[in-house]
């Protein structure tokens, strides 16, 4: 959410940002906010004048009563009563205007960074850099569900009977590999100085609206019927929510946290053949990284975060690339976003395995997360998040890149202490 002062003082900048995001339907919201803001300030001015008048009248009433001028005092009392009614009326109107302003402000997109490429959708995202040599073996690589099933590690049919489409059972060595990767990811981030957390897996609606846009909420979040609770789509939601309504001492920043959680997502919409199996699912587990920092440090941490993911995947010998998200592909709260994509030897292309984002002060402004500066002045913190790893999707890249011609899977050196084995053999 933007600072209303920015809209008030530079509405054309806000409108140009909306155009860059190809959301021209929201241009009228800027003028609406300006009009409501003018009315809001007019109400406040009138209320202040009426209260000042009422205070002066109260003193006058006392003086008149002291002089025995009861009739004059009663006339002034009636005038005060009318002013009181007007104040009540204006206060009610102000509440409605404030709500209208907030609703409009929650929909106006955040100002994107100047470095973000301009484009309508994800087809115009820009490749930045590749890490590792993408290879295609001289044998055919099966679809990932077939690989997992031959290893005795996946049961989709049972999951459909129990929960429907979009769920899975991981079993045996694949399930052990899944857990090993998450444990390795946790330790990887702790060694990089991040504090490990396990957060609540449900959050209240005020936290949901604080960390994401309404469009994201509708497409992602599962609501708990009869309660003010939602299942989290990522631990970023509850980790940022941890600091709602808090004033953080400046000398405690940056806060660098890495959190584990299951994640639950509706995943609305039709998906292609490559998104079957365990690629796009309603339930998965993830290791996340979150940073809360001073505004001038946010771009430094943005670059540190995506590099952590690249280093993590490269440590497991998986080729990756980074992809700069264009303006039209950015969620409304994001200032800048970089996807990390892993190489798929079967598809002969890269696919997303993580997303790094800086949101400026948008989440902090919505959740009232402030910093108490050394000079005593308070300001909104900047928030960032990035995926360390999100199996089981990550397993697709892992299994394809480490599959051997005989159907077995090699386990890289760094994972062997966590797995307890160096190879997964296919079932006989």
Q: What is the DSSP letter of 247?
A: E
Query: In this structure, is the dihedral angle defined by the CA atoms of residues 301, 388, 324 and 4, taken in order, positive or negative?
Result: negative
Total-model pTM? 0.89
254, containing H or E segment: none
Contacts of 393 (CB under 8 A, 6+ apart): 278, 279, 281, 284, 353
Report residue 49 as tokens. 């004048």
- Reported as a single tens digit per residue, the pLDDT across 92-122 is 999 999 999 999 999 999 999 999 999 999 9
Question: Does residue 232 have a pLDDT over 50?
Answer: yes
Residues of the chain with CATH 3.30.930.10: 122-424
Cα–Cα distance for residue pair 146/403, rounded to 1 Å: 12
For CATH 1.10.287.40, list the domain ranges present in the chain.
4-105
- pLDDT at residue 264 greater than cutoff 70: yes
Per-residue model confidence (pLDDT) at position 269: 54
Does residue 145 register a pLDDT over 80? yes
**Considering only 167-171, 268-272, 420-424, which range has the smallest mean pLDDT?**
268-272
Query: What kind of architecture, by CATH, is found in domain 122-424?
Result: 2-Layer Sandwich (3.30)
pLDDT in tens, 35-75: 999 999 999 999 999 988 888 887 887 887 778 888 888 78
The mean pLDDT value of the chain amounts to 93
Query: Mean pLDDT throughout 138-145?
Result: 95
Q: Is the pLDDT of residue 276 over 80?
A: no
pLDDT value at 215 more than 80: no
Rounded to whole angstroms, how far apart are CA atoms 302 and 336? 9
Whether residue 392 is predicted with pLDDT greater than 90 in this model: the reply is: no
pLDDT-derived band at 364 (thresholds 50, 70, 90) equals very high
- Residue percentage of the chain with pLDDT more than 70: 98
Burial of 273 (0-12, 13-18, 19+ CB in 10 A): exposed
CATH topology of domain 4-105: Helix Hairpins (1.10.287)
Q: What is the pLDDT of residue 302?
A: 98
Helix H or strand E encompassing 351: strand 349-358
**Structure confidence by residue, pLDDT tens digits, 291-325:** 999 999 999 999 999 999 999 999 999 999 999 99
Q: Is 236 exposed, middle or buried (0-12, 13-18, 19+ CB in 10 A)?
A: buried
């Amino acid at each position: 959410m933007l600072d209303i002062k920015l809209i008030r003082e530079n509405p054309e900048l806000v409108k140009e940002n909306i155009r860059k995001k190809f959301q021209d339907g929201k241009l009228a919201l800027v003028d609406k906010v300006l009009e409501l803001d003018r009315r809001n300030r007019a109400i406040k001015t009138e209320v202040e004048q009426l209260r000042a008048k009422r205070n002066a009248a109260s003193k006058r009433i006392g003086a008149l009563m002291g002089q025995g001028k009861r009739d004059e005092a009663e006339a002034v009392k009636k005038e005060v009563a009318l002013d009181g009614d007007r104040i009540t009326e204006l206060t009610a109107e102000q509440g409605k205007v404030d709500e209208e302003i907030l609703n409009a402000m929650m929909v106006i997109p955040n100002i994107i960074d100047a470095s973000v490429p301009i484009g309508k959708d994800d087809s115009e995202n820009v490749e930045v850099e590749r890490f590792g040599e993408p290879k295609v073996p001289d044998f055919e690589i099966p679809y990932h569900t077939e690989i997992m099933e031959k290893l005795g590690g996946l049961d989709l049919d049972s999951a459909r009977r129990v929960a429907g489409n979009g769920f899975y059972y991981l079993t045996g060595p694949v399930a052990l590999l899944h857990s090993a990767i998450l444990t390795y990811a946790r330790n990887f981030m702790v060694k990089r100085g991040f504090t490990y957390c396990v957060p609540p897996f449900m959050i209240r609606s005020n936290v949901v609206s604080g960390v994401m846009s309404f469009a994201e909420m509708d497409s992602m979040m599962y609501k708990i019927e009869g309660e003010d609770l939602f299942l989290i789509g990522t631990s970023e939601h509850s980790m940022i929510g941890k600091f709602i309504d808090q004033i953080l001492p400046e000398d405690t920043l940056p806060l660098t946290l890495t959190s584990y959680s299951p994640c639950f997502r509706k995943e609305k919409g039709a998906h292609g053949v490559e998104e079957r199996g365990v690629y796009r699912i309603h339930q998965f587990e993830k290791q996340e990284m979150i940073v809360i920092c001073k505004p001038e440090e946010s771009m430094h941490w943005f670059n540190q975060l995506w590099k952590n993911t690249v280093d993590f995947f490269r440590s497991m010998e998986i080729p990756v690339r980074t992809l700069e998200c264009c303006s039209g592909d950015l969620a409304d709260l994001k200032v800048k976003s970089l996807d990390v994509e892993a190489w798929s030897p079967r598809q002969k292309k890269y696919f997303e395995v993580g997303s790094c984002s800086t949101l400026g002060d948008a989440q902090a402004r919505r959740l009232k997360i402030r910093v108490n500066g050394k000079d005593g002045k308070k300001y909104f913190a900047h928030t960032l998040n990035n995926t360390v790893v999100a199996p089981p999707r990550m397993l697709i890249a892992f299994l394809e890149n480490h599959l051997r011609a005989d159907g077995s899977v090699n386990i890289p050196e760094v994972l062997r202490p966590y797995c307890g084995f160096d190879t997964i053999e296919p079932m006989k």
